[in-house]
C-alpha cells in the first residue's frame, strides 16, 4: 500500500479492524491538543456518523474518514462566521454546502470547521478575532485557509477543504509543508460557500499527497472516477515551462529549494525550458482589482469596519471606491492576457514556479507593527494570484530542503491549463514522486 496516501492507509486500517469511531476519536483527541486550528468541532455528530459507517449504513470512497472544512462553508444546523464574528456575525446554516453534501455522500465524517483569515482575504493566516494556529515550523501558517493547512500538517485530520481566490489553498499548503490543489473555477460548485469574488473563487483540498487531493477533488466535483487511483504521468516524458520571475524578489531559502527541485526533475529526465513570459507580471494588478471590486460588492452592506482586520478593511474600502470603468478594464485585460499565456504555454505540461516568494514570518514579527503586518501580507500571493487571474488550476507541493539545510517550508507550484485539472493532478503526482525520492519537502520539525 502506498504510504504517500494517508486516506488509502486509513481505509486499509478500517478494513483490518480499525473502526471509523476509533479514527474519529483519535482525531478528536489530537484536535483537543491543538485546538486553534479549529473554530468549531462537531464531536457528537462526527461520532454518530462514524458509528453509522461502522454499522455499514454509510458507504463510499471516503467512508469513515474524518475531514475538516473551512469556516466559509455551510454545514447544516451549525453557525458560520466566515472568520468575521463581530462584523459579519454568525449565521446558522439550514443545509449543507454542495461540497459538504457530496463529501458526506462519499462517506466522509465532517469533524469540524477550521480557522481562516477574516472574510478569507489575507494570505498570512492571522485573524485578530481568534488565536492564530502556527504551522509545525513555528511560523504563520498562511491563509486564508490557515486552519485547514495546520490541521493536515499536524495530523489532526488526513485531509481538509479550503478555498482559493488569490492563493488561499496553496499558500497554507506551502507554509505548512503539505499539498494543496486549486481547481479551475467552476469545476467544484461554490453554492453554500461565502463569496469573496464570483469570478475567481474556487474550492479545493489540502492533504498529504496529490493522490489524496485528487480523491477529494473528484468527490467535490461530483466525478464518477472518484474511486479510481490517480495514474501519475511518466516523468521522463514531461516538459515544463519555467518562466522568468524576476519581477518579484524571492527569498534565498525559497530560491535554493526551488532550484534544487528543478535539478532533481532534470535528473529524472524531465525537460525544463526557461523563458520570458512577460504577461505573467501583467496579470497581478488587474487580478487584485477584480478581487477587491467583487469583494466590496459582496459586502456592500458592511458599514462599520472598526473591528475588522485592518488589511481586510483597507481592501474593502479600495474595492468600494473602484470605478466601473476600471473594473471592466481589469476584466478585459485579463481576457487578453489569458489568450497570450495560452499561446506561450502550448505544448508544455505546465508551468513551474515557487508557490510563495517568501518564507513565512513569525507571528511576533507581524504583530510588531502595522507596517510589518502590511509588508508581510503584500508578499504572500504574487505567484499564486497569477494562476487565479489566468483561471488555471494549480497544485502546490512541499519542496523544502532537508532538515539541517534549512527548515523553512517552501512550496513548488505546478500550474496547469484551464479545465486541465485531471492532467495537472497526474503531472503533479509524477513531480511529487521525484521530490520525495530526492528527500525534498518530506520532513517537518
Determine the pLDDT at residue 92. 96
Write out the DSSP string of 365-431. HHTS-HHHHHHHHHTSSHHHHHHHHTT--EEEEE-PPPTTS-----EEEEE--TT-HHHHHHHHHHH
Is residue 346 annotated as a catalytic residue, yes or no? no
Say if CB 341 and CB 335 are below 8 A apart: no
Determine the pLDDT at residue 44. 98
Structure-block grid coordinates of residue 365: 514579527
Is residue 27 annotated as a catalytic residue, yes or no? no
CA 203 to chain centre: 8
Packing angle between helix 324-345 and helix 284-298, nearest 10 degrees? 130
Determine the pLDDT at residue 10. 74
Q: How far apart are the first and last CA of the chain?
A: 26
Determine the pLDDT at residue 404. 57
As to burial, measured by CB atoms within 10 angstroms (0-12 exposed, 13-18 middle, 19+ buried), residue 23 is buried
The cell 524571492 sits on which residue?
A: 250
Determine the pLDDT at residue 15. 74
Kindly give the confidence (pLDDT) of every residue in the chain, 445 residues in length, as a single tens digit, with 9 standing for 90 and above: 344 566 776 777 777 788 999 999 999 999 999 999 999 999 999 999 999 999 999 999 999 999 999 999 999 999 999 999 999 888 999 999 999 999 999 999 999 999 999 999 999 999 999 999 999 999 999 999 999 999 999 999 999 999 999 999 999 999 999 999 999 999 999 999 999 999 999 999 999 999 999 999 999 999 987 767 888 889 999 999 999 999 999 999 999 999 999 999 999 999 999 999 999 999 999 999 999 999 999 999 998 899 999 999 999 999 999 999 999 999 999 999 999 999 999 999 999 999 999 999 999 999 999 999 999 999 999 999 999 999 999 999 999 997 654 579 999 999 999 999 999 999 999 999 999 999 999 877 7
Catalytic pick from 20, 148, 153, 168? 168
Catalytic pick from 70, 182, 379, 444? 70
Determine the pLDDT at residue 2. 47
Domains, the chain, with CATH or none: 6-221 (3.90.1300.10), 236-438 (3.90.1300.10)
Catalytic pick from 144, 233, 407, 408? 144
Among candidates 176, 126, 179, which has minimal Cα distance to 377?
126
Determine the pLDDT at residue 260. 97
Is residue 55 annotated as a catalytic residue, yes or no? no
| 357/17 Cα distance (integer angstroms) | 45
pLDDT in tens, 375-428: 999 999 999 999 999 999 999 999 999 765 457 999 999 999 999 999 999 999
Determine the pLDDT at residue 425. 97
pLDDT in tens, 250-274: 999 999 999 999 999 999 999 999 9
The cell 458599514 sits on which residue?
A: 303
Amino acid at each position: 500500500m502506498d504510504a504517500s496516501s494517508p486516506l488509502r492507509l486509513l481505509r486499509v486500517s478500517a478494513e483490518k479492524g480499525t473502526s471509523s469511531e476509533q479514527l474519529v476519536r483519535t482525531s478528536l483527541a489530537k484536535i483537543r491538543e491543538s485546538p486553534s486550528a479549529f473554530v468549531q468541532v462537531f464531536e457528537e455528530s462526527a461520532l454518530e456518523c462514524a458509528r453509522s459507517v461502522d454499522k455499514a449504513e454509510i458507504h463510499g470512497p471516503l467512508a469513515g474518514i474524518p475531514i475538516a472544512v473551512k469556516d466559509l462553508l455551510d454545514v447544516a444546523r451549525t453557525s458560520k462566521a466566515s472568520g468575521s464574528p463581530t462584523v459579519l456575525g454568525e449565521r446558522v446554516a439550514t443545509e449543507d454546502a454542495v461540497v459538504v453534501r457530496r463529501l458526506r455522500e462519499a462517506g466522509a465524517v465532517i469533524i469540524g470547521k477550521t480557522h481562516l483569515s477574516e472574510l478569507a482575504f489575507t494570505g498570512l493566516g492571522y485573524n485578530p478575532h481568534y488565536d492564530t494556529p502556527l504551522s509545525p515550523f513555528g511560523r504563520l501558517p498562511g491563509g486564508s485557509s490557515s486552519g485547514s493547512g495546520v490541521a493536515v500538517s499536524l495530523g489532526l485530520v488526513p485531509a481538509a477543504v479550503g478555498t482559493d481566490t488569490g492563493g488561499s489553498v496553496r499558500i497554507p499548503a506551502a507554509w505548512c509543508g503539505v499539498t494543496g490543489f486549486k481547481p479551475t473555477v467552476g469545476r467544484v460548485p461554490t453554492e453554500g460557500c461565502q463569496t469573496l469574488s464570483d469570478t475567481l473563487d474556487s474550492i479545493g483540498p489540502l492533504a498529504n499527497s496529490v493522490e489524496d487531493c485528487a480523491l477529494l477533488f473528484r468527490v467535490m466535483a461530483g466525478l464518477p472516477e472518484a474511486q479510481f487511483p490517480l495514474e501519475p504521468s511518466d516523468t521522463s516524458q514531461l516538459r515544463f515551462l519555467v518562466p522568468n520571475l524576476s519581477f518579484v524578489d524571492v527569498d534565498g531559502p525559497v530560491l535554493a529549494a526551488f532550484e534544487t527541485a528543478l535539478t532533481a526533475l532534470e535528473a529524472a529526465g524531465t525537460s525544463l525550458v526557461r523563458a520570458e513570459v512577460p504577461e505573467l507580471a501583467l496579470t497581478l494588478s488587474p487580478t487584485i482589482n477584480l478581487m477587491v471590486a467583487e469583494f466590496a460588492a459582496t459586502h456592500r452592506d458592511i458599514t462599520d469596519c472598526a473591528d475588522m482586520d485592518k488589511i481586510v478593511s483597507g481592501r474593502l474600502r479600495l474595492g468600494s471606491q473602484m470605478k466601473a470603468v476600471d473594473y471592466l478594464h481589469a476584466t478585459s485585460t485579463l481576457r487578453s492576457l489569458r489568450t497570450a499565456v495560452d499561446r506561450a504555454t502550448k505544448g508544455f505540461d505546465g508551468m513551474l514556479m515557487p508557490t510563495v516568494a517568501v518564507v513565512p514570518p513569525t507571528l511576533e514579527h507581524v504583530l510588531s507593527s502595522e507596517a510589518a503586518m502590511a509588508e508581510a501580507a503584500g508578499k504572500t500571493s504574487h505567484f499564486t494570484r497569477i494562476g487565479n487571474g489566468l483561471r488555471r488550476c494549480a497544485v502546490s507541493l512541499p519542496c523544502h530542503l532537508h532538515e539541517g539545510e534549512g527548515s523553512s517550508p517552501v512550496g513548488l507550484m505546478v500550474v496547469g491549463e484551464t479545465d486541465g485539472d485531471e492532467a495537472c493532478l497526474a503531472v503533479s503526482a509524477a513531480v511529487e514522486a521525484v521530490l520525495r525520492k530526492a528527500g525534498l519537502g518530506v520532513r517537518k520539525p
